[in-house]
Structure 1
């Protein structure tokens, strides 16, 4: 294998998943402390894409420059390190298996289920409780649509939509995340009992957002989009969407850590459907395991998205269950820790069967 110049920037993607590490000492490693094991890396650099068996990884470190060896070792450590559990009040989310986050929209214009639960906080919260009873580990509450072309909601209206719902869910001990880009909404939601901030703008839309999250000391999901300050749906030209999104998230993590947020409190989301073509979304999903190299839990949000309709005879949003389950299982297969979905009972069932398969394989 010929190597690129000593200043080339490397990425590692875990590949060759195996059913069990039994009998593979030194040849397989556990993926992010979860239920998947892998036997090789895909080594990526400009003009280089090659597969390196894990057994040959130590020899690779000796063949590259010291800076490159440090980079590869850091990526390997992050990829194989267990993810710390997330405290949500009296509940703890263990990240050694894929968990479901249920999407609870408090907005009349969501792309998939706008207005389904009406505008009554009691009715919306009841829908969230049903999701939790069906097996959702987390309820993701949002009061503003981020679909292409959606109007920005005034923060006062957004607060009025989400706070009464969050108060009812939190009172029952349900883990809650707030899906918002606005600092004032984050503050109000956290005060109402939300545990996690889920920001599609990666704390870049509102100048105060980073300060709010750092001061609260809460977990935060940083999602990639090409233009987080203006909606997230621009269409840039990616050189390689997989490594470009990785590098953007890596830089954003470092900036957020520098702003006072603990790295253990950061989750990442590659932003499926935000400023990506169908081919780019598919490349991100196929290569999702690369994002374990960031050392943070991965949230995958692909439920009912436009790409499913594009691949399935333009099925409308409420008829994309099969495609959504396929993408949820793809997330589980590649080690994503949180799967954000609309169809909670069906996804929970699919993941329980998937886990049964994994448990049996690991038991030998």
Structure 2
């Protein structure tokens, strides 16, 4: 089904104000069950390819600080990361009292490179979590996957870790939080039977958001999910003229094979709107996704925050447009402060802060924001 722009806006406005009883109820149950829990083990995974691995320190620092009483088994699936970068990250983890780093070098990289080419994406490592059940220990039934570059952890993830799967492959939040869910099977079959092009195009962008998910390793092993399935779906999608990333490929291959998590476990603050009933008040995961710039590239001082606010007030605007997609609002400043406050407690701060500040100043100057 397709909608005209006014109808889509009307549905979005209405739906965004309807409280989500399912996710609120499940999260309340999970948090109550955790209660004043004993220290436990938290299995968390990320994937990375190429250089500048040190930025993962920010994610690790936030994990360590929010789970001070727990032991974190951190699984890094990597492609083409220089050995010296892995050694540096290992030394950093040795300084954290509750983190064990486990590095898994993925040797069969050709399939992931092919997915990158077919999907039209700049890197191959984003697809690694799709094969986590093939690379993580066989006695590990589930793992939390967090994006390496644009996430910090702000609260306890143990309730998320033990969220019921209800037979699905993932616990995940939806990609489009303001619209009703898409219920569909594998995209190629659905397209042959009933699904219009517009819906398949939406699926290719992802029914779920993969920045923060729980992967049902046991179920994917049980069903013998392999890379051939993903490559088949990728080749079909490419033949239809569709681009895709990891979340799009999962959706194209498996459809709506997930159970929905509360938005607090993947808080994309860029989608917040005033009056939204399901606004997240206590996020466990803060995700710098959507229309905001990546935190590694956007470093604001209090003076620059004030300069942007003054610029917007003078022009009567609510947000600063940075590019064709990215923009920032004064309401976003606190989230960026939090990321950089965490970063300041890591060695990578000395490298990335000057670069980000220079890039930010250059952008603001181009946009006519007075910074001096």
Task: Tell me, yes or no, whether TM beats 0.5.
Answer: no
**Higher RCO (CA 8 Å, separation ≥ 6 residues):** 2
TM-score (structure 2 length as normaliser): 0.30
Return the structure number with greater helix share: 2
